[in-house]
Amino acid sequence: MKDLILRAVNLIHIFLVELAKIMIVAMVLIVFANVFLRYVFNSGILWSEEVALTLCVWFIFISMGLGVKQKLNITINLMPREKMPKWLNNVLDTLMEIIVIFVGVIMIVYGRILVQFTMTSIMPATRWPAGILYLVVPLAGITIVLEALLHILKWDTYDKALDDYLSGEGKLKDIFGGTHE
């Protein structure tokens, strides 16, 4: 069961990384095209700002979830971690993950409320429900909670194989092939 959960988490991670790549490229292309059209032809793309904003918000919140997996959240070290006893380091790491889970739960609960509240509003240029802009908040919260729970459980998520694949040096079968217990 653990192996199946970890494989699913890795698959979600790969999907989110690829989605973030697509979003950042699309955002850059849309903004570039709009600037080019405005300055060369004096006519921009009407919906470009809304779509670029939506892509930017989604990219940022997806990146937050991915950052928790890599432990890229901000930390404050009052003492050198190497000089503290191992048990105290473990307690502080667990406390940090609990705080991260708390933030993720807040994102899930209040993000859902925000989405429900804004889903009836319409963005003027695209005519999309405004809730689409905020839909990523509870989704990122779920990712954050999941990754922090895996850190607390000290479940290995095969980061070396995953990083190799995402950097173009590894293969997908290295992540999902065989058992990882």
pLDDT tens sequence across 64-82: 988 998 888 887 777 788 8
Looking at every residue in the chain, the average pLDDT score rounds to 89
Residue 60 lies in a domain: yes
pTM of the model: 0.85
User: Who's near 82: CB < 8 A, 6+ residues apart?
Assistant: none
Is a pLDDT exceeding 60 seen at residue 178? no
| Domain of residue 18, residue span | 2-176
Residue 19 lies in a domain: yes
Of 162 and 43, the one with more pLDDT = 43
Cα–Cα distance between 145 and 151 in angstroms, integer?
Answer: 10
Cα–Cα distance between 33 and 120 in angstroms, integer?
Answer: 30
Per-residue HEC secondary structure of 87-125 comes to HHHHHHHHHHHHHHHHHHHHHHHHHHHHHHHHCCCECCC
CB atoms < 10 A from the CB of 80, how many? 7
Residue 131 lies in a domain: yes
Q: Which pLDDT score, from 0 to 100, does residue 181 have?
A: 45
Q: Which pLDDT score, from 0 to 100, does residue 180 have?
A: 47
Q: pLDDT tens digits for 96-149?
A: 999 999 999 999 999 999 999 999 999 999 999 999 999 999 999 999 999 999
Residue 181 lies in a domain: no
* Whether 98 contacts 176, CB under 8 Å: no
Section 84-99 average pLDDT: 91
Residue 43 lies in a domain: yes
Question: Based on the structure, what is the number of domains in the chain?
Answer: 1
Is a pLDDT exceeding 50 seen at residue 174? yes
Residue 163 lies in a domain: yes
Report which residue type is found at 82: E
Section 26-44 average pLDDT: 94
Residue 86 lies in a domain: yes
Of the CA atoms within 13 Å of residue 12, those in its CB half-sphere come to 19
Cα–Cα distance between 54 and 152 in angstroms, integer?
Answer: 32
